[in-house]
Amino acid sequence: MNPTLAIHGGAGTMPPGSMDPAAYRAGLHRALMAGHKILAADGPAIEAVTAAVVALEDDPLFNAGRGAVFTRDGQHEMDAAVMDGATLGIGAVAGICGPRNPVLAARATMEHSPHVLLVGLGALDFLRAHGVAFAEPGYFDTPGRREALRTMLAAEASFSADLDDADRHGTVGAVALDRFGNLAAATSTGGMTGKLPGRVGDTPLAGAGTWADAACALSATGHGESFIRIAAGHELSARMRLAHEDLDTAAAAVMAALAAVGGTGGFVAIDRTGRVSLPFNTRGMYRGFVHADGAAWTGIYQEAMQAWS
> What does the binding site for ligand ASP look like in residue numbers (CB under 6 A)?
10, 169-171, 189, 191-192, 201-203, 209, 221-222, 224
Task: Please state the closest distance from residue 8 (CB atom) to ligand ASP, in A.
Answer: 9
- Nearer Cβ to ligand ASP (178/202): 202
Cα of first residue to Cα of last residue in the chain, in angstroms, is 14
- Nearer Cβ to ligand ASP (39/174): 174
- Catalytic, 171? Answer yes
Residue 190: partners with Cβ closer than 8 Å, 6 or more residues away: 63, 64, 67, 68, 69, 70, 76, 77, 78, 140, 145, 170
| Phi-psi map region of 252: left, alpha, beta (phi>0 left; psi -120 to 50 alpha) | alpha
Task: Please state the closest distance from residue 200 (CB atom) to ligand ASP, in A.
Answer: 8
In terms of C-beta density within 10 A (0-12 exposed, 13-18 middle, 19 or more buried), how is residue 30 classed?
middle
- Nearer Cβ to ligand ASP (145/169): 169
Q: Which listed residue (50, 171, 187, 264) is catalytic?
A: 171
Residue with smallest beta-carbon separation from ligand ASP: 224
- Nearer Cβ to ligand ASP (203/298): 203
Residue 274: partners with Cβ closer than 8 Å, 6 or more residues away: 1, 2, 3, 4, 177, 291, 292
CA distance 147 to 168: 11
Task: Please state the closest distance from residue 209 (CB atom) to ligand ASP, in A.
Answer: 6
Task: Please state the closest distance from residue 184 (CB atom) to ligand ASP, in A.
Answer: 19
CA angle 34, 95, 151 (to 5 degrees): 90
Instruction: Report the catalytic residues.
Output: 171
